Chain A
């Protein structure tokens, strides 16, 4: 057997402080009440740093700083704001190796994904929205669209830096100021980004980062001086935020969960479809809201496709996220691992057949082998609930109409995939799918110019593209 030697990326390229304060008004401050929490490397359970817990007083300070900065920032001519955004984008490119390593350490995702997917997209988003900053009058939202004010943004742990970019870039381009709360388990890249803002000489208060858990986020969302709330995360929390914001006049955009159907027709390019299935559900350990977690296979090619998929899954390399050869890294937290484990056990109890390739998991850290369930029906919980892990539920269908019906039979509607060699079928099926993004003969492709968002319980509003500006314009 041709075994690859370990090829770990050096963690010494990035320096991590032992403790971090909050980034308010251009400076790092400890939290007023002095609370802290620890962020760990999910691949080793090693504590990476201690981070401040922002209390109400700290959030007040951050919002006040953003409010003070809003006047001058929104008054800047578009090309001036663009200059800052371009500068941030270029600094991110220059420091992308540091950021990629930091992201993999804190999140557990494989370095090849943080290096080759996350970071290029992060820079691309800043470049893209920098380009819009002086062209807002041509975006289709009236001749003189105005910023909303102070945006309170809460982002998840699956793509910490990318979600930050999706939130901050359009907000700044349109003249808003920002208070952002990164997820409790992955605050480090946002704090690193605070340093990028300082390096770019962004005026103090335009971007503020408050760290903490759910309480901090809840307080930020409810803050009376926040004009706009943007949230990416679970549907449950999204629902709570919608309740809080209702009737306040605040603008709200939500990007929530998903249970995407990845539909493979019998005339699909099989080998590439298998790659798309793998990419759809095992990319980022399945911690992807638009993951293709429900595979719908036409019955006539079921055996052949399953054989190919299992053979392919056996080549997936699970392990050290910093190793350049790793395909699947660590599960982000013990809590998430517990949820994945629980739902997978339910899948077995419901009578679905569980399969994982033989693979050795490291002793320390949070790990879950790539798993598929066959014999799944629409009535199974694993076909309905978002697992948010490397677990694929496989269902079958007989006709295109049945495929569409099953694909749409979900409370969610974030994304979907279609695999067929027939162009007319792609168009016909895509037209009927109730999902924000439909990929054809590919999966998990992102571009800053392409709007992203959901139907039904997957949320509302769009991020990315020209449409993404709308959420930040009055």
Chain B
């Protein structure tokens, strides 16, 4: 953990296995304890606006159409048509084929355009295909790429392969930001989550992301806590700051605020910004809007008072 020079691939295994372990009981207890922090009134209002600015509003369905994507982009630019003080989301996240549509719809808005490339969600495709996927997305206007790692290679202990793939995709990204999806639900242990986080960061990831949202276990508080500790320690030893993006299953304001508390008390202010933390979510936004309205008006409105997408 104190190494500062880039390490040789042959050392990867001993390096990753030399990281401090993660005690499952302890990390889950800590995440649960932070989950009981009480955030209300003015601090809740600030938290909600921050959370909205951190949302990567996502649609990743086989049935996605240009119409659906355009509607999502409109929502992302202006989440609450009735309230101009409501901030836009951080990014719209779509499949590569939908990038041109989204790019046109987002032009001039300042909302980022993220695309899941590299044979999302399984990652089971030859490297050339993944690179082509990435280049196509970037060429069509994506300024953020969400790649998946080969969990199979990682679990088989072939860290060098995973490392090389991330390096290659990062290069194919050009100027686009690279978010590396670890698919933590498939990594099974917190030790693996920490190792995969370090592996991705060593290989050049700009962000590390929990999940595709397509498996049973997606983002959880303890997994995100382990990843936050990893980015904190990585910056301390390598001097480079990396962002974190939990994705999948974060559906309501209460949960989102728990994540903000986790950031606040683990890595602090430096990560409390859409530049360094994102929520990968599709249904979270409407709950944030509903709670936001509740705080300003004192009343809850029904779901029909907020746009579908």
Contact = CB atoms under 8 A, between A and B. Distances in A.
Interface of A: 1-5, 7, 112, 116, 267-272, 275-276, 304, 315, 324-325, 421, 441-442
A271 B29 CA distance: 12
Contacts of A267: 20-21
Interface residues of B, number: 30
**Which 9 A/B pairs are nearest by Cβ-Cβ distance?**
A272-B26, A7-B38, A272-B23, A269-B23, A5-B43, A270-B20, A324-B38, A421-B21, A269-B21
Contacts of A442: 25-26
A234 B1 CA distance: 44
Given A2-B46, A269-B21, A315-B265, A116 B36 contact: yes
B43 A441 contact: no
Given A270-B20, A271-B20, A271-B229, A4 B26 contact: no
B30 interface: yes
Nearest to B34: A315
Interface string B238-282: 000000000000000000000011011100010010000000000
A271 B25 CA distance: 12
B44 interface: yes
Interface in B24-80: 25-27, 29-30, 36-44, 46-47, 50
B20 A325 contact: no
Nearest to A305: B20
B22 interface: yes
A363 B300 CA distance: 40
Contacts of B265: 315
Contacts of A4: 37-39, 43
Q: Identify which of A5, A272, A275 gathers the most chain B CB atoms within 10 Å of its CB.
A: A272
Nearest to A268: B20
Interface of B: 1, 20-23, 25-27, 29-30, 36-44, 46-47, 50, 229, 260-261, 263-265, 269, 272
Interface centre among B20, B47, B272 (most CB of A within 10 A): B20
6 contacts: A2-B261, A2-B263, A4-B37, A5-B40, A7-B39, A268-B20
A441 B38 contact: no
Contact of B1 (A5, A272, A275, A304): A304
A188 B217 CA distance: 47
A325 B30 CA distance: 14
B273 to A, nearest CB: 11
Q: In this complex, which of B21, B39, B265 has the most chain A Cβ atoms within 10 angstroms of its Cβ?
A: B21
A271 B22 contact: yes
A421 B22 CA distance: 9
A276 B269 CA distance: 24
A324 B35 CA distance: 12
Instruction: With a 10 A CB-CB cut-off, give which of B25, B38, B264 has the most chain A CB atoms.
Output: B38
A324 B22 contact: no
B30 A275 contact: yes
B221 to A, nearest CB: 14
A384 B38 CA distance: 38
A7 B38 CA distance: 6
Contacts of B229: 271
Given A2-B43, A2-B261, A5-B40, 14 more contacts: A1-B269, A1-B272, A2-B269, A2-B272, A5-B39, A267-B21, A268-B21, A269-B26, A271-B20, A271-B27, A272-B23, A324-B36, A325-B38, A441-B25
A112 B50 CA distance: 27
A3 B269 CA distance: 11
A4 B22 CA distance: 28
Contacts of A112: 36
A10 to B, nearest CB: 13
Contacts of B44: 5
A338 B64 CA distance: 69
